[in-house]
Amino acid sequence: MSISLRHQNRINGQWLHSCTARDYPLYDPADTRCHVHSYPLSAERDVVAGVESAAGAFDHWRKVPVAEKAAIMRRAAQLIEDNREQIARLITAENGKLLKESQSEIDSTIAELLFQVGEGERQFGRANQSHQGASWGFTRLEPLGVISVIVPWNFPFNVPFRKLVPALMAGNTAILKPASQTAGVGETVVHILTEAGLPCEVLQFVTGSGSELSDVLVASSGVRAVTFTGSTYVGKCIAKQSAQQFVRTQLEMGGKNPVVALADSDINLVAEQVAIGAFSCAGQWCTATSRLIVEKPIYEELLGELLRRAETIALGHGMDPAATMGPVCGELQLASVLGHIDKALHQECRLVLGGARSGDRCLEHGCFVEPTVFEVKDASADLSREEVFGPVLTVEIAQDYEHALALANAVRYGLSSSVFTRDLDRALDFSERTETGMTHINMHSAYKEPQFSFGGIKESGFGLPEAGSTGIQFFQEEKVVYLRR
């Protein structure tokens, strides 16, 4: 299979332009002079048509045996593997991340896909004898209907499959809305599933502005659930509107993820892991390490080792094998990250590394931000509390463990965290008291595996989390059946 992009919506099994007849361009974040391709600026009418088509396919798809659904998904996994290099290059062209980071995203996609297929095959209801003795009851796990799937640009291949596979295995149909910046990757997801044997009408695909389409993706009368990954602001808007429609929601949103380094921790290990967590993918993952909180006795030594490692990071095009960090994803994201840095420079934050757009003339047409580290003396500074979504790390001193834990929890987000220590009791205490949906001991904050749920608390997550055993549960409802014998 060779994937040939159509640069169109797909509605009711047909590749179509939007009703607006307007396109928007996508540019390479590493060189914004390079036009990658263009996609339709869709309108409400396009989404409504897609939802209606998905609704029409639901009754047939829900009855397809689980074994047939699983076979389609496993063929999709093989197609991903067969086209790994082409897909990775497209992710890098649209998102900007290093080619090896794109390849890693693909590997993670396959692992998560196969796990969710297995979960779909392991879905069983429960049977119990009635208290009355003359009857018994059992439960059925049933699909919801049409699912709106709204995905981000930072992991544009992994996240659609993380959401779509359990939704489809459960018997739902779906409409996929990719991030504007990575629409080609979103279209690739559709091609793979179609080639694997998914009936065309089961999955619809529309591109365009999220702000213009999100309302109808939530409020359209045929939509039964929305699964969304993106900013907390947009997530709150979706939650508010979905509540009015009684539409089920799954929201995976922002993070301000702390790493706590206690005085007995391995300094080299902490520096290594924090550099990975803060600067991989140019800091553009929701579980990125964005805060380092260090007990006072090791603060200076750890900061020095971290800076030494960060200074070796080589900015460059994602296809350049010598590069160790790529650009941020486009000019809007570049302006946002630089805006956070400028604001920090006017608050109680001391810049100790980076803090600017790359001055390398070879990179002047790309969206490159230097790896940036700030020392923060005032924990109330915006940079310590608000998500930047770029290669920017804050470092804070903690007087002791309790102070470090208080600093770690003193934000509105609650996605991921980490603690570094040789003290098992402290590590387990941290795992109990950290206010996050996932936490780590002696590893960076972004690590995950497919058999465990992925999601946050506070303003980082709402609804059942993705992946793990809850991945498919969100897309099902339980019906109880009573039977008189």
Annotated active-site residue in 112, 252, 387, 466: 252
What was the pLDDT predicted at 126? 83
Averaged pLDDT for residues 196-219: 94
Averaged pLDDT for residues 227-246: 94
Cα–Cα distance measured from residue 164 to residue 161, given in angstroms and rounded to the nearest whole number: 5
CB 61 within 8 A of CB 171: yes
End-to-end Cα distance, the chain: 54
CB 146 within 8 A of CB 175: yes
Nearest to 116, CA basis, from 160, 55, 179, 176: 160
pLDDT surpassing 70 at residue 234: yes
What was the pLDDT predicted at 23? 96
What was the pLDDT predicted at 2? 78
Nearest to 262, CA basis, from 299, 301, 306, 305: 299
Cα–Cα distance measured from residue 225 to residue 164, given in angstroms and rounded to the nearest whole number: 12
Could you tell me the two tokens for 47? Answer: 């989404």
* Extents of the domains making up the chain: 9-253+460-484, 257-449
Nearest to 445, CA basis, from 201, 318, 239, 276: 276
pLDDT surpassing 70 at residue 286: yes
Residue 87's φ and ψ, nearest 5 degrees, are -65, -45
Q: What is the mean pLDDT of the chain?
A: 96
HSE-up of residue 150 (Cα within 13 Å, Cβ side) = 29
Task: Report how far Cα 381 is from the mean position of its chain's Cα atoms.
Answer: 26
Number of other CB atoms surrounding residue 464 within 10 Å: 19
Active site residue 252: yes
pLDDT tens digits for range 384-442: 999 999 999 999 999 999 999 999 999 999 999 999 999 999 999 999 999 999 999 99
Name the residue with tokens 């392991």: 122
pLDDT tens digits for range 291-332: 999 999 999 999 999 999 999 999 999 999 999 999 999 999
Cα–Cα distance measured from residue 300 to residue 347, given in angstroms and rounded to the nearest whole number: 22
What was the pLDDT predicted at 124? 80
Which residues, 6 or more positions from 331, have their beta carbon under 8 angstroms from its beta carbon?
32, 367
Residue 366's φ and ψ, nearest 5 degrees, are -105, 170
pLDDT surpassing 70 at residue 461: yes
pLDDT tens digits for range 9-65: 999 999 999 999 999 999 999 999 999 999 999 999 999 999 999 999 999 999 999
pLDDT surpassing 80 at residue 133: no
Q: What is the CATH number of domain 9-253+460-484?
A: 3.40.605.10
What was the pLDDT predicted at 128? 82
Active site residue 44: no
**Domain boundaries 257-449, CATH class:** alpha beta
The model's confidence at residue 134, banded by pLDDT at 50, 70 and 90, is low
Annotated active-site residue in 281, 286, 349, 367: 286
Identify how many contiguous H helices and E strands the chain contains and give both numbers. 15, 22
CB 387 within 8 A of CB 255: yes
